[in-house]
Each structure stands twice: as structure tokens, then as C-alpha cells.
């Protein structure tokens, strides 16, 4: 018994040592943590090779319902900077930061963004955390990240500034394209019906209205009443396109579309990037995908 | 007033009309088939076969998603296979047919759930298990109507041997050789109707619209023809009322329909003319000459 326990202990120690070597190899880079994938993408673009980014909520993950693991606390305690979105997006992060005992500064990437009230949904009445849905805000994120990185690693100042400048230029181009696509949509067609509640900033910045289906529970199988309500709403408000991803039965969405004449939209990404193979592996890809999808559904 | 409550939902929304027509088409075939299932004491066989359809439909789903053709074909093949295999096992081994059917359907259910999960999500699984009567497209409606019509024609053809086999299989065997053929044709009808019902009500509830109206009919008539008519009528009523219930209270449509047949059944158990509880307690006056 003693023997097996001792060998177990030895094994654990050996593993710990390996893990330590591993870290030592990566130590030359500035190790930072970003709370979710979109923020992580910004940090990667600004930090370039000088920074190693760990995202707590990975691609396709939902930051609203994320439950941190001990490994996440460990990532935090090793980090030199922790980037968060705040505005109520990662409610779990304060406790996690405390629990991890990290000395790293917590940088709020949305500092300077003008927060808007949430129209509806899970943060009802509170501030809307999905600030990155407006590209103008994304530029604020990037500036905050650049300043924080420079503060933590003054030697990389030139590199960070150059990276940020290049990335900001890309964001400008992105926003110009975005506005060009929307300009092509007639003003009275700039609305869709959707269960997404994450596009408030997008709506304010670019003037596309995201209307929620009224009084429809989104988690259970839709009843005849729900379907009738959605159809009525589309007809009375003359909504040209529907994005109903939570109704997973394509036949039902087709039925609604046939009965109302509204076009069926595709997938919109809001809270997380996809993995490398998906439609939205980076922030810029995500915005481009969303705007392409919206453009196809609203024009014609 | 009455119009707005009882007719308007269907006049206004096409999906409601489609759901109603689909349910009617379904009941037209499934009602009579259910009556014969019940008369031949095969109600549980119907249940078992309904579950047996799941893995077939699931393989269809795996190959091409929620496609009508693939899932129908898969369901038909699986349903026939299980019906024949269960009969075979019961015939060549010691086990009784009910036990062998129970085995087959439990295994099919497990297999089906696993196959659906391989490709889809829990939501997909729910669609296969409970169907979507609100999303019937042209093809599905046509399929259901075809199955209903075919069922009526085939039943008309095999009506005599079928009834005789319910009453006195020994006698039928002595005067005619059509018994086995009729039985096979009948099994085929059961599977077809279950597959048709599965598109609207899902594999779990499809059998409900078959068995429950028949059970209701049993409480109101002794005559087979009358039973068939009552089964169809009660199915139609429940389909209509279930859809209305779902329209006004936002409960899911398929289960609402089955719940209504269930309510009709409960009423029949209590007040049915033939063997209902009330009738047994208060038999009424004997007729005297």
C-alpha cells in the first residue's frame, strides 16, 4: 500500500516537473489571458509573436454560461495581463480572479465604449455587453489592448504599435465594406426577425433592426400558437427576412417563410468565434460573414 | 364568435390547414388498421413496430438529414424487418411473441437514439421522436394521403379474410388459403401507416393515433364496420381539437392531439355504450315481452 502511494506521488511530481519545463520554454513570450475568443483574437492581432494568448472561453463556447475549471484559475495565476470585456459579460471572472490569486492587472477592454442598455434577453435592463458588434467599438478594444501590452512589455512598444496600426486599418476597411453593403439595402427593408439578442450595438451603429419574435419561448418545441404569432408579426411589420436558428427543424422555418414571403437567413455569429474550420475563425471573418449573410437575405 | 374560435385559425394560417389535412389523412388509414390490430389482440405489436421504425428512420436521417424519402424508406425497411424477425424468433424458439417483440423494440429504440445522436443534437432526436405536425410540406402531405388511400383500398380487398381471421382463424384456414397472405398484407399496412404517422407525430406518438381511436370505438360498437367509422371520427375530432388546443394554449401540437384522443378514451371507458363503467353499474331495464 505504502509502495503504491509512494510511486503515485513520484509520478505526480515527475509530471509537475515536466509541466514546469514546458512553461519555461514558453516563458520568453508575454503570457496573457483573454476571457473569450473574440477578445483573444484582438489580443493576438495586436500582440503578434511577442504575446502568448490563452482564451478561457474558447471557440463556439458560450461565455454567459461558462463554468471555470481549476485549470482556468491556473492560467490566470500564470498570466501577466488579464483582458476582460466587462459590462456584465463574464460575471464569473471576478470570483475566478480572486480564487486564482493572480497579480496580473485586469484590463477592461471596453473602457471608453459608450455602453447601451440591453433591449431584451439575458441582461435585461442592464448594460449590453456585446460592444464588439460595432466595428467602431472594436477599435476602442484594440487601443486599450495596445496600451496595456505596452505597459506590461515596454520593449515591444514599436511592434505593438505597428501591429495595432495595421489591424486598425483593416478594421476601417471592414467598416467601410459593411456600410457599403447596408447602403445597398433599401431603408424600409433594414429589419430582420431573430432570436439573437446580441446585436444592439450593430443596430445602433449601422441601422439594421433586429426584432425579437414576441412572446415565443425559444427553448421548447414551438406550438401552433408560437408559429401563428411569428407569422403575424412578420406580416404586420413587413419583415423581409427571418433568422430563426433556435427552431432547428428546417421544415418549420421553410413553412413560415412560405406563408409570409420572408426570406430565410443563415447563421449569424454573435458571442464567440468558430474554430479554424468554421465560418468565423477571426473577428474580421465573423463580421464579414454576418454582413454577407444579412446582405443576401435583405437585398434582392 | 364561434367562427373566430373554431374556424378562423384554420382559415387564416396555411400551416394549420396543412396540419389538419395531414391528421385527417393519417386517421383515415390508421383508424381502420388500429381497429383490426385491437381485434386481433395485436395492440402491443403496433407499439413495438412503431419503435422499430426509429433506427431505420434514424439511418435515413444519418444519410441525408431530415429528408422525407430517406427517412420513409429507412422506416419501412426497419419496420418490416422487425415485424418478420420477431415472428420468426417466436416461431423457431421457445420465447413467446410478446417477449420477442419487447426485446426487438427496446433494442431498436436504443439503437435509433444512438444513431440520431451520432449526427444530430438532442433537438433532432426530439423531432424524430415527436415529429412536427406543423411543418408538413407538400411531399409529406402527399405521402400521408397516398398511404391513407392505399390502406383503404387494400383493406377493402382483404376485408373478408381479415375479419374471419379475427373471429375464427381455424375456420378460415379450413376453407381458404388467403389467411397468411392477408396477414402479411395487413402487417405491411401497419408499418406503412406508422411511417406515415411518424412524419407528423414522431415514432413515439404515431402509434397513439392508431390504437387509441380503435380502443374508443370498442366502447361504442360491437360491429366491425361501425367500429371503423367511430375510430375514424374520434381520430378526426381529436386531431381538430388537439390542433386548436395547441393554437390557443401553446402546448406542442402532436402531444396535444394524442392527449385529446386520450381524453375521449377516458370518457368512453366511463360512459361507453358497450361495456362502459357507468353502463355496467346501471345496466338499464331488461326488455320484457
Nearest to A223 among B121, B136, B253 (CB): B253
Q: Could you report the per-residue pLDDT of A86-110, keeping only the tens digit for each?
A: 888 888 888 888 888 888 899 999 9
End-to-end CA distance of chain B: 51
Residues in chain B within 8 Å Cβ distance of A255: 14-15, 18, 134-137
A179 vs B129, more confident: A179
Residues in chain B within 8 Å Cβ distance of A256: 15
User: Which residues, in sequence order, are bridge partners of residue A51?
Assistant: A30
Chain A, nearest residue to B256 by Cα: A223
Interface-testing mutation among B134, B139, B241, with chain A (most A C-beta atoms within 10 A): B134
Residues in chain B within 8 Å Cβ distance of A214: none
The mean pLDDT of A35-52, rounded to a whole number, is: 93
The CA-based angle B133-B211-B23, given to 5 degrees, is 25
Q: What is the pLDDT of residue B123?
A: 58
Residues in chain A within 8 Å Cβ distance of B4: none
B9 touching chain A per CB within 8 A? yes
Give Cα separations from A252 to A229, A249, B72 (angstroms): 14, 6, 18
Q: Could you report the per-residue pLDDT of A112-129, keeping only the tens digit for each?
A: 998 888 765 554 457 888
Residues in chain A within 8 Å Cβ distance of B125: none
Give Cα separations from A105 to A32, A79, A93, B272 (angstroms): 10, 9, 13, 77
What is the layout of strands, in order, in the sheet containing A106-108? Answer: A51-57, A30-36, A81-84, A106-108
C-beta atoms of B13 and A227 within 8 A: yes
Residues in chain A within 8 Å Cβ distance of B250: 217, 223-226
The mean pLDDT of A191-195, rounded to a whole number, is: 82
Q: What is the pLDDT of residue A20?
A: 53
Chain B, nearest residue to A256 by Cα: B15
Q: In this structure, what DSSP letter does residue A192 have?
A: E
The distance of B54 to chain A (nearest Cα, Å) reads 18
Q: Could you report the per-residue pLDDT of A126-162, keeping only the tens digit for each?
A: 788 889 999 999 999 999 999 999 999 999 999 999 9
The distance of B9 to chain A (nearest Cα, Å) reads 9
Q: What are phi and psi of A30, to 5 degrees?
A: -75, 120
Single out the residue of A57, A98, A47, A103 nearest to residue A79, CA to CA.
A103
B70 vs A10, more confident: B70
Q: What is the pLDDT of residue A116?
A: 85
Nearest to B250 among A225, A250, A252 (CB): A225
C-beta atoms of A224 and B9 within 8 A: yes
Confidence of residue A24 (pLDDT cuts 50, 70, 90): very low
Confidence of residue A10 (pLDDT cuts 50, 70, 90): low
pLDDT profile of chain B (289 residues), mean per 10: 86 90 94 92 83 84 78 87 78 77 83 78 68 84 94 94 85 81 88 89 87 94 93 95 90 89 94 86 73
Q: Does residue A51 surpass a pLDDT of 90?
A: yes
Nearest to A223 among B123, B137, B250 (CB): B250
Residues in chain A within 8 Å Cβ distance of B135: 249, 251-252, 254-255
The alpha helices in B93-168, defined as continuous H runs, are 97-119, 122-130, 138-167
Helix, strand, or coil (residue A213): coil
Q: Does residue A72 surpass a pLDDT of 90?
A: no
Q: Could you report the per-residue pLDDT of A239-264, keeping only the tens digit for each?
A: 888 887 656 567 788 888 888 888 88
Interface-testing mutation among A214, A219, A223, with chain B (most B C-beta atoms within 10 A): A223
Single out the residue of A209, A202, A41 nearest to residue A136, CA to CA.
A202
Amino acid at each position: 500500500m505504502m509502495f503504491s502511494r509512494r510511486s503515485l506521488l513520484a509520478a505526480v511530481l515527475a509530471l509537475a516537473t515536466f509541466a514546469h519545463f514546458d512553461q519555461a520554454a514558453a516563458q520568453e513570450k508575454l503570457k496573457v489571458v483573454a476571457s473569450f475568443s473574440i477578445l483573444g483574437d484582438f489580443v493576438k492581432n495586436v500582440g503578434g509573436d511577442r504575446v502568448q494568448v490563452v482564451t478561457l472561453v474558447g471557440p463556439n463556447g458560450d461565455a454567459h454560461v461558462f463554468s471555470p475549471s481549476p485549470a482556468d484559475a491556473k492560467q490566470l495565476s500564470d498570466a501577466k495581463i488579464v483582458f476582460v470585456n466587462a459590462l456584465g459579460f463574464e460575471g464569473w471572472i471576478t470570483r475566478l480572479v480572486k480564487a486564482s490569486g493572480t497579480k496580473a492587472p485586469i484590463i477592461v477592454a471596453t473602457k471608453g465604449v459608450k455602453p447601451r442598455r440591453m433591449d431584451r434577453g439575458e441582461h435585461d435592463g442592464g448594460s449590453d455587453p456585446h460592444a464588439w458588434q460595432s466595428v467602431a467599438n472594436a477599435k476602442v478594444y484594440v487601443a486599450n489592448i495596445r496600451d496595456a501590452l505596452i505597459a506590461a512589455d515596454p520593449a515591444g512598444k514599436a511592434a505593438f504599435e505597428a501591429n495595432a496600426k495595421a489591424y486598425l486599418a483593416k478594421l476601417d476597411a471592414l467598416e467601410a465594406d459593411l456600410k457599403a453593403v447596408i447602403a445597398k439595402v433599401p431603408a424600409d427593408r433594414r429589419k430582420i426577425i431573430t432570436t439573437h439578442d446580441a446585436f444592439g450595438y450593430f443596430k445602433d451603429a449601422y441601422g439594421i433592426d433586429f426584432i425579437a419574435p414576441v412572446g415565443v419561448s425559444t427553448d421548447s418545441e414551438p406550438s401552433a400558437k408560437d408559429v401563428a404569432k411569428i407569422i403575424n408579426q412578420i406580416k404586420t411589420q413587413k419583415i423581409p427576412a427571418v433568422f430563426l436558428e433556435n427552431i432547428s427543424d428546417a421544415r418549420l422555418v421553410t413553412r413560415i417563410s412560405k406563408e409570409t414571403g420572408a426570406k430565410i437567413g443563415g447563421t449569424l455569429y454573435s458571442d464567440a468565434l468558430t474554430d479554424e474550420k468554421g465560418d468565423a475563425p477571426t473577428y474580421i471573418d465573423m463580421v464579414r460573414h454576418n454582413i454577407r449573410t444579412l446582405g443576401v437575405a435583405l437585398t434582392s | 364568435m364561434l367562427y373566430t374560435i373554431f374556424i378562423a385559425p384554420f382559415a387564416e394560417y396555411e400551416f394549420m390547414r396543412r396540419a389538419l389535412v395531414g391528421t385527417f389523412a393519417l386517421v383515415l388509414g390508421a383508424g381502420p388498421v388500429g381497429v383490426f390490430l385491437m381485434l386481433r389482440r395485436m395492440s402491443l405489436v403496433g407499439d413495438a413496430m412503431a419503435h422499430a421504425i426509429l433506427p431505420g428512420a434514424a439511418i435515413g436521417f444519418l444519410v441525408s438529414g431530415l429528408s422525407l424519402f430517406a427517412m420513409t424508406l429507412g422506416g419501412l425497411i426497419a419496420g418490416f424487418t422487425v415485424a418478420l424477425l420477431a415472428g420468426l424468433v417466436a416461431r423457431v424458439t421457445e420465447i413467446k411473441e410478446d417477449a420477442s417483440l419487447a426485446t426487438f423494440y427496446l433494442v431498436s429504440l436504443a439503437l435509433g437514439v444512438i444513431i440520431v445522436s451520432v449526427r444530430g443534437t438532442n433537438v433532432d432526436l426530439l423531432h424524430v421522436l415527436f415529429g412536427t405536425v406543423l411543418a408538413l410540406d407538400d411531399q409529406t402531405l402527399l405521402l400521408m394521403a397516398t398511404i391513407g388511400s392505399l390502406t383503404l383500398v387494400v383493406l377493402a380487398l382483404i376485408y373478408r379474410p381479415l375479419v374471419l381471421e379475427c373471429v375464427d382463424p381455424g375456420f378460415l384456414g379450413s376453407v381458404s388459403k388467403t389467411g397468411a397472405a392477408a396477414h402479411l398484407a395487413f402487417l405491411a399496412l401497419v408499418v406503412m401507416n406508422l411511417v406515415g404517422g411518424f412524419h407528423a407525430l414522431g415514432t413515439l406518438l404515431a402509434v397513439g393515433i392508431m390504437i387509441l381511436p380503435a380502443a374508443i370505438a370498442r366502447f361504442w360498437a360491437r360491429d366491425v364496420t361501425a367500429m371503423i367509422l367511430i375510430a375514424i371520427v374520434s381520430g378526426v375530432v381529436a386531431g381538430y381539437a388537439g390542433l386548436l388546443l395547441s393554437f390557443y394554449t401553446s402546448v406542442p401540437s402532436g402531444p396535444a392531439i394524442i392527449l385529446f384522443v386520450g381524453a375521449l378514451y377516458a370518457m368512453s371507458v366511463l360512459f361507453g355504450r358497450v361495456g362502459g363503467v357507468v353502463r355496467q353499474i346501471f345496466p338499464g331495464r331488461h326488455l320484457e315481452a
